[in-house]
Structure 1
């Protein structure tokens, strides 16, 4: 059955940069191991204020961030010394493990002013055995990601396995993540091999069991349900899911199976024990003074 429909909510990522926040949601915090999902753009910002939306260096623990662009470009710099221009169709998978910091800067004002920038960012929680793994960053080019086409259907496997497709993106638990484009009237189904599955409607409108769902909604399903997805207009979906990992605590940019580990990460960032990117270390995001329960991320949550 359809477990839940999640409406994207507006969240402020930076001054002048609002995003659609899909996960976490208070009634359904994760889909498989995916614990966070933001949809940014299309962004249309005047050049004189473009520097205001840069995401300054900030920390993560206990998760992998996944950046996927539909258009535009982003400059990634992290505390491992990696500098990577993120381009459309690539997979940029950063595993925080025991701790990493990174920045995301939008260094081409023309891209922002033209409305080209559009991206999805997700966090994938790590299994307990990998929460303290060494941090890492990997960039995968579009040609490394398998594509399948059929009548009215185009899909790219971003990570994991689904529909008989696999790729070499390094993951830590069973999951799948896909970019799917459907032409009007195309029919599509969910992969059946995963415990929990969902899809976010980026563009367009789909129909399921006679009910129409617009862009900006995520639909989540459990195993054993095989609905027929009908595109009522040209549509773009981000489909994801996998094995559930158990409860996770999330506060700001920190994810862990243990509350005390979140507290340690807060202290480490405040004390400067998590290094800054060596080529982007003149400014950073300070630890928020948010006092809410650790189960509720403050609105400043960054990706």
Structure 2
């Protein structure tokens, strides 16, 4: 078991995120190679919290909100508002760029933003598929609820239900709220798992897991989580890759050469761009 404490990053405009993955103690959990916890933050009227267009290769982004609204645009022409409980799943494949902005109707008012964004690395043989985008409404996401907990199974198959979200490799992502103190058992012979606490705390084998920190568990391990009433947390997991992934900025690939090609393409302006956008994030020096 590995405990991960994230580090804060300023994405500009006062948007502070806590970056959990990648971390020097844990690079990936199954195919999950990146996790940013956005907020919770309250933006002032006309405060700019937009994320300008930027490129991706070799991954899918998974965006999930607890509070607020964001507007997604990408280079294949997708335009989609996302609200809490919904899912934006964008597969970059051989290359896509996108922006995430405050809806124009909200810019001149105070507004909240709180959510998670993951990168899910594409498996061997699928790293250069055509880019695509899918959106799932809140009522499409299955819910498991009893006296102890409420689970939104965002991705994968678990707890007796299956999510309709189409993924490129076996994985799970569940959003859980504890109604009272209880125990959850995690086990899969093929998966490695992690639990990230949004609020509240839990205990595993006598070790406390506090809010905004993560416990990661080895493939095939059996884990019992003792969750405190009122806690909110997410469970992620999946089959670990047999080949390594390189990460540079927003680019993920098993090939360093592909990353270099994408860097040059973004720098010289030949990378696919978002229609209607007039600005972008420059390539880091």
Could you tell me which residue of structure 1 aligns to residue 83 of structure 2?
87
Could you tell me which residue of structure 2 aligns to residue 216 of structure 1?
212
Could you tell me which residue of structure 1 aligns to residue 198 of structure 2?
202
> Over residues 162-190 of structure 1, what are the superposed CA-to-partner deviations in whole Å (9 max), with x where a residue is unaligned?
23321221111111111111123122121
Shift of 1:128: 1.9
TM-score, L = length of structure 2: 0.95
> Over residues 197-236 of structure 1, what are the superposed CA-to-partner deviations in whole Å (9 max), with x where a residue is unaligned?
1110011111222322210111011234323212234111
Matched, 1:148 2:144: yes
**2-side partners of 1:140 and 1:191: how far apart?**
27
Query: Do 2:192 and 2:220's aligned partners in 1 also have CA atoms closer than 8 Å?
Result: no
Could you tell me which residue of structure 2 aligns to residue 157 of structure 1?
153
Aligned to 1:254, which of 235, 251, 269?
251
What is the 5 A alignment of 1:104-123? 104-107=100-103, 108-109=106-107, 113-114=110-111, 116-123=112-119
Aligned to 1:41, which of 39, 42, 45?
39
* 183-192 or 129-138: bigger deviation: 183-192
Aligned to 1:12, which of 10, 13, 16?
10
Could you tell me which residue of structure 2 aligns to residue 177 of structure 1?
173
Unpaired segments ≥5 residues, structure 2: none
**2-side partners of 1:278 and 1:187: how far apart?**
48
Unpaired segments ≥5 residues, structure 1: 290-303
**2-side partners of 1:40 and 1:207: how far apart?**
24
What is the 5 A alignment of 1:62-77? 62-77=58-73
Matched, 1:31 2:29: yes
Root-mean-square deviation over aligned CA pairs: 1.5
Query: Do 1:60 and 1:254's aligned partners in 2 also have CA atoms closer than 8 Å?
Result: yes
**2-side partners of 1:288 and 1:136: how far apart?**
26
Aligned to 2:272, which of 266, 272, 275?
275
**SS of equivalent to 2:41:** coil
**SS of equivalent to 2:26:** coil
Could you tell me which residue of structure 2 aligns to residue 296 of structure 1?
none
